[in-house]
A = this chain, B = another copy of it.
Amino acid sequence: MTAEIWDVIIVGAGLSGLSAAHLLRKRDAKLKILILEGKDRVGGRTVSTAIPAANGVDRWDFGGQWVGSNIHCSLIKELGLETFPQFNIGKKVYHLGGPGARVLTYRTSIPALSPLVLMDLTQFLWKIDRLCATVFVQDPSKTPNAVELDSMTLHSFIEQHGWTAELREELGLCSRSVFGMEPSQMSFLFFLMYAAAAGGLLPLLENTAGSAQEFKIKGGTQQLSECLAERVGRKNVRLGSAVTAIWQGAEWARVMTATDTFLCRAVIVTCPPHLAAKIHYEPALPSQRAFLTQNMPVGHMIKFIITYETAFWKDKGFSGEIVSGSSTGSPFCVTFDATSPNGNAALVGFIAGQQASQWTSKEVMERRKAVISSLVKYLGSEAASFIHYEEKDWAKEDYSGGCPVNVMAPGLLTYYHPSLRKPCGRIHWAGTETATQWCGYMSGAVQSGQRAALEVLAELRPMTLTQEEQEAVRQGQTVEGPARPTLSSRITYLPTSKAAVIAKKKPTLPVHS
């Protein structure tokens, strides 16, 4: 068996790997680039699937779906794709607080919470934003008091600083919706870093201008990867080719799948950390790197789409947004309107974190029954007359094993973080977990792929880099420079008086998958 020879091999044909390849080819069209992907499709954690709908069939995102207007929209435009806003007009449903809690609805951006809980929320968000402003995203270990912040879980911080049980439940739901994980499972400093990389906590949670859930892509987000794969050349993307080992020698890196061996000058590994940890490396990676990737838990989300003849909830004055949880008997934590640009009515929802862990082993019919039963309770009996229920359990997806993102358990940021992006010989690291802006999002995936591509170009084709880019690579930074959101940048979202702050806060809308 003779080994094929390439310039660059990219592990993973998700947004990160394809963005890397795209940039490499833009800078030097002669570079021989091969992308190896374990799945039988491109797109990684984005996948758009056609399911039965009111007008025949239509396509919905079963992975990452939302993009913000400030999130690499240049790529969306470059690829000729269009966005449309998340529908959010009408009554929102809020049902947390235990079995006896009332179902609340509200039309404004203020949930119908008691003044005490709103006060609590305000003081909590204020504390988080103050701390976020101190985080140095590029190297969180330089954050003031980093060891202390990294030695506690998000849960512990919530216990200490959330006054009301309602707020604590609400924050658990936010954690589940954003990370597919409970607040106990991540470092508080990691949480701050993640929020800081998005410009603050509210941008993670809202669907207003500049936040994570503002827009969707017509036809689905997987098109980003499909279009990039076309530009990179389909012959350069090998599906069903999971990388099992990477050997590095003086002249070459040798990349192996179960059946093939490839030689190349540089490798970009873009798969999530828990999958990168499964690859066998020779020589072994530095132990700090091994400890890091072995210990970044990935979240657990089951995403469902339900199609209907009509968007009956809109007719009844609902927006489609429901926030609920296991304490009130619901399997999902949040739903939204998902009516397609073609007018096919649908709802999207998420079973996440602990709830995903509880529901994953049950039969799909049982989950469907529980979901529909909750929707009937909140939106009316029309919810029972659906056309199609389709779901995706990301924990069961080969070469994903979880979604939406890997977090860091306590103690990792302060001890092992420097190895997150640091190249190991010919191996460069990408994937949204390595991003410094919108870490964990599609935008972060693109940023990380581009950053890794520049690192590779600095080695193989230094003349194609600007001086600024060369300097950034030398300093191990992204071209944009450290993404360090400041309180002042956050303040553009916030009115100045405390009352107004309360009035503007929306505790819900926390999903970005």
Chain A contact residues, CB within 8 Å of chain B: 147, 150-153, 155-156, 159, 181-185, 244, 274, 277-278, 280, 284, 286-288, 290-291, 294-295, 297-298, 300, 354, 357, 360-361, 393, 395-396, 398, 401-402, 409-412, 414-416
Nearest-neighbour CB distance to chain B for A165, whole angstroms, equals 13
Cβ A151 vs Cβ B151 within 8 A: no
Cβ A395 vs Cβ B291 within 8 A: yes
**A414, B410: Cα distance in complex, Å:** 17
Cβ A182 vs Cβ B278 within 8 A: no
**A298, B412: Cα distance in complex, Å:** 12
Of chain B, the residue at the smallest CB distance from A398 is B284
Nearest-neighbour CB distance to chain B for A367, whole angstroms, equals 14
**A302, B35: Cα distance in complex, Å:** 39
* Residues from chain B with Cβ under 8 Å of A416 in the complex: 357
Cβ A150 vs Cβ B411 within 8 A: no
Cβ A357 vs Cβ B288 within 8 A: yes
Given A182-B415, A294-B298, A357-B415, A410:B287 Cβ within 8 A: no
Contact partner, A153, options B153, B286, B294, B297, Cβ 8 Å: B153
* Chain copies in complex: 2
**A295, B290: Cα distance in complex, Å:** 13
Contact partner, A185, options B277, B278, B396, B409, Cβ 8 Å: B409
From A147, A181, A294, A415, residue with most partner B Cβ within 10 Å:
A294
Nearest-neighbour CB distance to chain B for A153, whole angstroms, equals 5
* Residues from chain B with Cβ under 8 Å of A357 in the complex: 287-288, 291, 415-416
* Residues from chain B with Cβ under 8 Å of A277 in the complex: 274, 277-278, 294
Nearest-neighbour CB distance to chain B for A371, whole angstroms, equals 19
Q: What are 8 inter-chain pairs, A to B, with CB distance below 8 A?
A: A151-B156, A152-B155, A153-B411, A181-B411, A185-B412, A277-B294, A284-B396, A357-B415
Nearest-neighbour CB distance to chain B for A399, whole angstroms, equals 10
Contact partner, A409, options B286, B395, B410, B415, Cβ 8 Å: B410
Of chain B, the residue at the smallest CB distance from A360 is B287
**A280, B279: Cα distance in complex, Å:** 10
Cβ A395 vs Cβ B298 within 8 A: no
Cβ A150 vs Cβ B401 within 8 A: no
* Residues from chain B with Cβ under 8 Å of A401 in the complex: 284, 287, 290, 294
**A357, B286: Cα distance in complex, Å:** 10
Cβ A185 vs Cβ B411 within 8 A: yes
Nearest-neighbour CB distance to chain B for A163, whole angstroms, equals 17
* Residues from chain B with Cβ under 8 Å of A297 in the complex: 291, 294-295, 409
Nearest-neighbour CB distance to chain B for A45, whole angstroms, equals 16
Known: A151-B184, A244-B244. 6 other contacts (CB 8 A): A151-B183, A155-B410, A277-B294, A294-B294, A295-B295, A354-B415
* Residues from chain B with Cβ under 8 Å of A152 in the complex: 152-153, 155-156, 184
**A361, B414: Cα distance in complex, Å:** 16
Of chain B, the residue at the smallest CB distance from A406 is B294
Of chain B, the residue at the smallest CB distance from A414 is B184
**A155, B287: Cα distance in complex, Å:** 23
**A382, B398: Cα distance in complex, Å:** 60
Cβ B288 vs Cβ A360 within 8 A: yes
* Residues from chain B with Cβ under 8 Å of A278 in the complex: 277-278, 280
Nearest-neighbour CB distance to chain B for A245, whole angstroms, equals 9
* Residues from chain B with Cβ under 8 Å of A151 in the complex: 153, 155-156, 159, 182-184
**A147, B153: Cα distance in complex, Å:** 13
Cβ A185 vs Cβ B410 within 8 A: yes
Ordered nearest first, which 9 A-B pairs have the shortest CB separation? A287-B395, A151-B184, A185-B411, A184-B411, A409-B409, A151-B155, A295-B297, A274-B294, A184-B410
Nearest-neighbour CB distance to chain B for A460, whole angstroms, equals 27
Of chain B, the residue at the smallest CB distance from A157 is B156
**A386, B153: Cα distance in complex, Å:** 45
**A354, B147: Cα distance in complex, Å:** 12
Of chain B, the residue at the smallest CB distance from A187 is B184
Of chain B, the residue at the smallest CB distance from A413 is B184
* Residues from chain B with Cβ under 8 Å of A360 in the complex: 287-288
